[in-house]
């Protein structure tokens, strides 16, 4: 294929424009089909029975009464999902999470499921299932779970990553460490040191669409699954493996997606729906309620983080150190590890050390949430950086500029950076009108930086040219943030045609090669690379067909602005041929014209952002209003700037909710107290100011157009930016997220009382 | 489950009194339907009262206003006379849920749901509102603060339905105000709240007052001592401080997912003071 992914610095005709979104009309008129909008004749209603206990041995499950109820077509327990994971520990955890095998590990853990003719019968059937639990002591707090006396969640876990295997099992599954230099020596050279501890509570992605799927298993062993997911190819693999199917026999079709943010990267309900359908012999639709989404999908980690940073009087950081403890739910994860990698990634440091601990708790299994693990680490680090700047007496933006990582800097997590955007975002913030706007009484301003790796990965695209010259693009990365529009722009750019001549669809798993899921901000980065490659392959065929039509050598045909052009003096009299003209003749010049591409998109450029936030805090109630918010972020190249701005705003909006009010609240009984949007408070529209955005474009050298992922970085700085703003407004350093009114008021009162 | 839509209050009362299993009154349904969907209640009989003549009207009476049990809260905000006389009651009713919910929900429903955090109830209590109760043995009129007895419980006997809420006509130089604390700007439930109704003399001295606190005890509190702290005084800083202190002291809150004991105590006083200032200004006090 000889595809050259290097940045070429070309001029753009389509890329960078703002056409209306192709999925817009269907979404605003209700025609778009989301997970729960698929239906099949004879379909049953699936419902899941969940543990009310945070930690309990399942002694016995008696399903006989439920099975006897008229209208019930199948009842399943873990016995109907036998362990086929063959020693794959991660897959076993997924299996156990889908349906508890011997122990219920959190409030909401699935223990059985039914398929019945209607919802009422299914609900009745759940009440008839008798589960004999032996309730065990539980632990839901990340620090308490690390204590020696803590109830042990899994007695086969011995902390990995220590020099010696520990003698005792514990709730700490892994220790990881990053950094370079000698922090001890670095702190010795510091004139000022700030050392603080921080906590963040567990939050949920809060996607509006609950998990939903329809499973249809045929007696011949093939199956179909319609599902709301960020990665239908990954769902196919996982479901096939858990159910003992060949992957190609399971066709998975992804629906439109009402938000995922990392939360729809794991299977929960889907293997259960397939197992129910297999047993019942009929299609089964399984839709989670909001209560189930909160209790039993995958929220982010709760954390406890210690940070220590030292600097000289001149504002040079001499050493930085952090210990990060992240809750993983009841199964092993790598969340603290990611936090430990990202914590100091914005800075150029000679001496840096981060240590992460993965901690098991009796809460639902942690899943990715938009730049997973980075926002909490950034909150702790950027709060300490702000405080340190204050102590030294340097402007916080200036302090960060002085210590910002640059091209050639060895990052705190290892790799050496190429061209990066942290410095430019800081300069842009320094010069932004927002930084100079006056503040009123009880108002405060804060700013903070954030980093995210971004990801590339396996990608496959088909580009088909119809005989009428219109182009269909089949991609395998689920469109969570406007990628169908962006990819159409990219194909239009390459082919030299108008955007409206294209239609992009997300193909099902039987129609296209494997694609990694839409995560790691990879959708537009990787699929645009594959689209460029596919378009170039199609252009090669278009040139061949034109050469054939002209009866000249293909070497004399070039592709320019949507046309085949014959080159050289001897062909000077040949008029150019449009894509449409070539397509119209394709039936007689060799058949359909298509371009295909499969590749591993390497070199996703790292991404940086700096945010500015103004808040007003009511000192009598602790109530906080965000009154102004600005996002400055490097996009590499904004393919569809409106979508990029939307990503910037969306990350900031979610960060505002996380910073101020969102949190999982557990009772002493280990049960989730606020499994609904009434008491799990995501921001409503009137809570948010217009979020201002500024796109910087520092090209990614590893993408033909310079594209970097943009979806995740925007949620990394908000916790810290808002915490810095609130701390400035309230006159007291806030160290616990969310900064809910009771926490702010208590901090103000404590400060007042000295 | 049986759904009926009677056309007279007598029929509704008869059906309710004669029901064997759990029965529920349906007006806007913004509490009932949510609770049914969540599986918290499974009524065998649902009596929709929206078809009953007169229940969907706000009537001007000789003494003030009669607000029918099926009048949606949004309609309160469209009644100019009511808004002028009882701005606090109307602003409380217009804080419930969201715009869409306000198009359905009713103040009688809010009262009978018996949540200590109900938005309209502290305002109604401060306004001295009365409830017209119709039951198998006839009609009676009771103070609204006597309706809720505990979270989710009311003093209504079997077969009794609240037909209307009565509000008096405001005396000259009188006004009410309601404030609640929520962490967000809307679509939320009061963490703590305060309703204040004041009457002033020509010199701006408070001659009558009623102060109610919500979400700070099992039922909405009518804080008579707080009212006494205001009567006979202009709304000076000392009076406001005393009001705040008494209101904070009167609270019997709990720690829960929505707030802490300390927070509710402190903010109850803050809101009472602010609501009193608003009511005072509305009544023409300077």
Instruction: Please write the tens of the pLDDT for every residue from A40-77.
Output: 999 999 999 999 999 999 999 999 999 999 999 999 99
Domain B176-282 matching CATH 3.30.390.50: the answer reads yes
Residue A741 contacts B, CB cutoff 8 Å? yes
| Domain locations along chain A | 24-32+456-601, 35-136+210-257+264-296, 303-454+605-753
Q: What percent of chain A has pLDDT over 90?
A: 98
* Segments of A423-496 assigned E as strands: 443-452, 457-465, 471-475
User: Using the beta-carbon criterion (under 8 Å), do A683 and B270 form an inter-chain contact?
Assistant: no
Measured between beta carbons, the chain B residues lying within 8 angstroms of A291 are 38
Average pLDDT, chain A: 97
Nearest chain B residue to A748 by CA distance is: B263
Confidence of residue B264 (pLDDT cuts 50, 70, 90): very high
Residue B267 contacts A, CB cutoff 8 Å? yes
Measured between beta carbons, the chain A residues lying within 8 angstroms of B186 are 684, 686
- CATH number belonging to the domain at A24-32+456-601, selected among 3.40.30.10, 1.20.1260.10, 1.10.260.40, 3.30.365.10: 3.30.365.10
Residue B181 contacts A, CB cutoff 8 Å? yes
Q: Which of A119, A290, A615, A620 to mutate against chain B (most B CBs within 10 Å)?
A: A620
Within 10 A of B172 (CB to CB), how many other CB atoms are there? 10
Across the interface, of B181, B184, B257, the residue whose CB is closest to A665 is B257
Residue A746 contacts B, CB cutoff 8 Å? yes
Across the interface, of B38, B39, B258, the residue whose CB is closest to A679 is B258
Measured between beta carbons, the chain B residues lying within 8 angstroms of A620 are 266-267, 270
Q: Looking at chain A from residue 648 to 687, which residues have their Cβ under 8 Å from any Cβ of chain B?
A: 660-661, 665, 673-674, 678-679, 681, 683-684, 686-687
User: Using the beta-carbon criterion (under 8 Å), do B187 and A684 form an inter-chain contact?
Assistant: yes
Cβ partners under 8 Å of residue B268, min gap 6:
B192, B194, B213, B216, B247, B248, B250, B251, B253
Check if the beta carbon of residue A215 is closer than 8 Å to that of residue A469: no
Residues of chain B with CATH 3.30.390.50: 176-282
Provide mean pLDDT across the span B227-235: 96
Measured between beta carbons, the chain A residues lying within 8 angstroms of B187 are 684
Across the interface, of B186, B189, B256, the residue whose CB is closest to A684 is B186
Instruction: Please write the tens of the pLDDT for every residue from A92-146.
Output: 999 999 999 999 999 999 999 999 999 999 999 999 999 999 999 999 999 999 9
Say what the pLDDT of residue A163 is.
93
Two tokens at A180? 């370079």
Q: What percent of chain A has pLDDT over 70?
A: 100
Span A303-454+605-753 CATH architecture: 2-Layer Sandwich (3.30)
* A670 Rama sector, left if φ>0, alpha if ψ -120 to 50, beta otherwise: left
Say what the pLDDT of residue B286 is.
84
Say what the pLDDT of residue A664 is.
98
Nearest-Cα distance to chain B for A33, in Å, is: 24
- Cα–Cα distance for residue pair B29/B100, rounded to 1 Å: 12
Residue B256 contacts A, CB cutoff 8 Å? yes
Instruction: Please write the tens of the pLDDT for every residue from A522-540.
Output: 999 999 999 999 999 999 9
Estimate to the nearest angstrom the gap between the alpha carbon of A195 and the chain centroid: 31
User: Using the beta-carbon criterion (under 8 Å), do B183 and A741 form an inter-chain contact?
Assistant: yes
Say what the pLDDT of residue A571 is.
83
| C-alpha R_g of chain A | 27
Nearest-Cα distance to chain A for B256, in Å, is: 9
To 10 degrees, the CA torsion angle through B105, B110, B115, B118? 80
ipTM of the complex: 0.95
User: Using the beta-carbon criterion (under 8 Å), do A741 and B186 form an inter-chain contact?
Assistant: no
Report the sign of the C-alpha dihedral through residues B114, B119, B125, B130, in that order. Answer: negative
Across the interface, of B181, B183, B262, the residue whose CB is closest to A661 is B183
User: Smallest Cα–Cα separation from A506: which of A467, A472, A465?
Assistant: A472
**Strand A443-452 vs strand A457-465: parallel, antiparallel, or unpaired?**
unpaired
Backbone angles phi, psi at B243, to 5 degrees: -60, -50
Instruction: Please write the tens of the pLDDT for every residue from A257-307.
Output: 999 999 999 999 999 999 999 999 999 999 999 999 999 999 999 999 999
Residue A2 has pLDDT above 80, yes or no: no
Q: pTM of the predicted model, to two decimals?
A: 0.96
Residues of chain B with CATH 3.30.43: 1-48
Residue B257 contacts A, CB cutoff 8 Å? yes
H/E segment holding residue A217: strand A212-217
Range list of H helices, A38-177:
64-68, 89-98, 119-128, 142-146
Say what the pLDDT of residue B38 is.
84
Check if the beta carbon of residue A479 is closer than 8 Å to that of residue A264: no
Two tokens at A283? 């299609």
End-to-end CA distance of chain B: 57
Provide mean pLDDT across the span A639-649: 98
- Cα–Cα distance for residue pair A526/A354, rounded to 1 Å: 30
Within 10 A of B5 (CB to CB), how many other CB atoms are there? 14
| Shared fold status for A24-32+456-601 and A303-454+605-753 | yes
Domain B1-48 matching CATH 1.10.287: the answer reads no
Span A35-136+210-257+264-296 CATH architecture: Alpha-Beta Complex (3.90)
Across the interface, of B183, B186, B256, the residue whose CB is closest to A740 is B183
Measure Cα distances from A45 to A121, A122, A271, B119 in Å: 9, 7, 15, 38
Say what the pLDDT of residue A754 is.
80
User: Using the beta-carbon criterion (under 8 Å), do B183 and A665 form an inter-chain contact?
Assistant: no
Residue A1 has pLDDT above 70, yes or no: no
Residue B39 has pLDDT above 90, yes or no: no
Nearest-Cα distance to chain A for B97, in Å, is: 10
User: Smallest Cα–Cα separation from A228: which of A244, A208, A252, A212?
Assistant: A212
């Amino acid at each position: 294929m000889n595809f050259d992914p290097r940045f070429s610095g070309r001029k753009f005709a389509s890329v960078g424009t703002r056409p209306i979104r192709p999925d817009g009309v269907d979404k605003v008129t209700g025609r778009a089909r989301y997970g729960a909008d698929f239906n099949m004749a004879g379909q049953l209603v699936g419902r899941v029975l969940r543990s009310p206990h945070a930690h309990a041995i399942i002694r016995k499950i008696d399903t006989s009464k439920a099975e006897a109820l008229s209208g019930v077509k199948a009842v399943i327990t873990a016995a109907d999902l036998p362990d086929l994971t063959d020693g794959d520990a991660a897959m076993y955890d997924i299996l156990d999470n889908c349906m508890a095998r011997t122990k219920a590990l959190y409030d909401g853990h699935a223990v059985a499921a039914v398929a019945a003719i209607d919802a009422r019968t299914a609900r009745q059937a759940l009440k008839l299932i008798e589960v004999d639990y032996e309730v065990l002591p539980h632990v839901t707090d990340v620090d308490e779970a690390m204590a020696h006396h803590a109830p042990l969640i899994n007695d086969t876990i011995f902390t990995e990553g220590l020099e010696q295997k520990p003698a005792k099992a514990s709730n700490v599954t892994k220790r990881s460490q990053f950094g370079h230099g000698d922090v001890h020596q670095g702190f010795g050279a510091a004139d000022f040191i700030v050392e603080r501890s921080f906590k963040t509570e567990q939050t949920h992605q809060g996607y509006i669409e609950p998990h939903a799927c329809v499973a249809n298993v045929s007696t011949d062993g093939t199956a179909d699954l319609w599902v709301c997911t960020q990665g239908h190819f990954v769902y196919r693999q996982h479901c096939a493996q858990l159910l003992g199917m060949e992957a190609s026999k399971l066709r998975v079709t992804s629906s439109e997606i009402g938000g995922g943010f990392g939360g729809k990267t794991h299977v929960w309900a889907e293997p259960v729906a397939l197992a129910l359908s297999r047993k019942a012999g009929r299609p089964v639709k399984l839709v989670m309620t909001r209560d189930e989404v909160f209790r039993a999908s995958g929220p982010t980690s709760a954390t406890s983080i210690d940070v220590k940073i030292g600097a000289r009087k001149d504002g040079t950081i001499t050493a930085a150190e952090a210990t990060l403890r992240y809750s993983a739910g009841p199964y092993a994860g790598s969340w603290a590890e990611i936090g430990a990698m990202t914590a100091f990634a914005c800075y150029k440091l000679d001496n840096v050390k981060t240590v992460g601990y993965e901690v098991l708790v009796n809460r639902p299994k942690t899943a990715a949430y938009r730049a997973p693990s980075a926002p909490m680490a950034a909150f702790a680090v950027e709060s300490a950086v702000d405080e340190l700047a204050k102590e030294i007496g340097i402007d916080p933006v200036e302090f960060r500029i002085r210590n910002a990582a640059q091209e050639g800097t060895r990052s705190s997590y290892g790799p050496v950076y190429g061209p990066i955007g942290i410095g430019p975002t800081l300069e842009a913030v320094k010069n932004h009108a927002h930084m100079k706007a006056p503040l009123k009484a009880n108002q405060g301003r804060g700013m903070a930086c954030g980093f995210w790796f971004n990801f590339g990965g396996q990608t496959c695209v088909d580009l088909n040219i119809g005989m009428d010259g219109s182009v269909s693009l089949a991609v395998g990365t689920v469109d969570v943030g406007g990628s169908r529009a962006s990819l159409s722009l990219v194909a239009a750019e390459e082919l030299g045609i108008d955007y409206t001549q294209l239609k992009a669809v997300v193909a099902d798993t039987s129609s296209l090669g494997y694609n990694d899921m839409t995560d790691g901000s990879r959708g537009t980065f990787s699929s645009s690379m594959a689209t460029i490659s596919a378009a170039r392959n199609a252009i090669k065929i278009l040139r061949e067909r034109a050469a054939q039509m002209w009866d000249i050598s293909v070497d004399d045909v070039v592709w320019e602005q949507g046309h085949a052009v014959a080159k050289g003096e001897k062909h000077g009299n040949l008029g150019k041929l449009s894509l449409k003209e070539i397509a119209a003749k394709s039936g007689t010049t060799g058949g359909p014209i298509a371009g295909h591409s499969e590749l591993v998109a390497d070199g996703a450029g790292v991404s940086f952002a700096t945010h500015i936030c103004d808040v007003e805090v009511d000192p009598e109630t602790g109530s906080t209003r965000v009154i102004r918010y600005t996002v400055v972020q490097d996009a590499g190249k904004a393919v569809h700037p409106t979508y990029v701005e939307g990503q910037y705003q969306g990350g900031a909006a979610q960060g505002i909710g996380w910073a101020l009010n969102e949190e999982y609240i557990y009772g002493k009984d280990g049960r989730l107290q606020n499994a609904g949007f009434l008491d799990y408070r995501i921001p409503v529209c009137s809570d948010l100011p217009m979020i201002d955005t500024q796109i910087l474009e520092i090209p990614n050298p590893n993408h033909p157009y310079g594209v970097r992922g943009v979806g995740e970085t925007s949620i990394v700085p908000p916790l810290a930016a808002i915490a810095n703003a609130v701390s400035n407004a309230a006159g007291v350093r806030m160290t616990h997220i969310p900064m809910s009114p009771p926490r702010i008021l208590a901090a103000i009162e404590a400060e007042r009382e000295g | 489950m049986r759904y009926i839509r009677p056309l007279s209050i007598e029929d509704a009362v008869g059906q309710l009194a004669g029901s064997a299993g759990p029965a529920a009154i349906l007006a806007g349904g913004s509490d009932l339907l949510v609770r049914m969907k969540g599986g918290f209640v499974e009524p065998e009989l649902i009596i929709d009262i929206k078809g009953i003549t007169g229940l969907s009207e706000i009537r001007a009476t000789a003494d003030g206003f009669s607000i029918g049990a099926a009048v949606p809260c949004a309609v309160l905000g469209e009644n100019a006379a009511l808004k002028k006389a009882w701005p606090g009651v109307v602003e409380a009713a217009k804080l419930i849920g969201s715009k869409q919910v306000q198009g359905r929900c009713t103040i009688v429903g809010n009262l009978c749901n018996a949540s200590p955090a109900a938005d309209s109830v502290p305002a109604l209590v401060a306004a001295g509102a009365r409830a017209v109760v119709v039951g198998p043995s006839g009609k009676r009129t009771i103070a609204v603060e006597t309706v809720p007895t505990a979270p989710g419980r009311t003093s209504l006997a079997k077969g009794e339905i609240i037909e209307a809420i009565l509000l008096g006509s405001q005396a000259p130089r009188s006004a009410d105000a309601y404030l609640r604390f929520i962490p967000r700007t809307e679509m939320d439930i009061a963490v703590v709240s305060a309703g204040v109704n004041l009457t002033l003399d020509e010199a701006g001295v408070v001659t009558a007052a009623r102060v109610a606190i919500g979400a700070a005890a099992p039922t909405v509190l009518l804080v008579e001592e707080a009212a006494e702290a205001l009567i006979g005084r202009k709304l000076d800083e000392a009076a406001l401080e005393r009001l705040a202190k008494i209101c904070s002291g009167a609270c019997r809150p709990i720690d829960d997912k929505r707030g802490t004991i300390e927070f509710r105590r402190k903010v109850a006083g803050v809101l009472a003071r602010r609501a009193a200032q608003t009511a005072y200004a509305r009544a023409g006090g300077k």
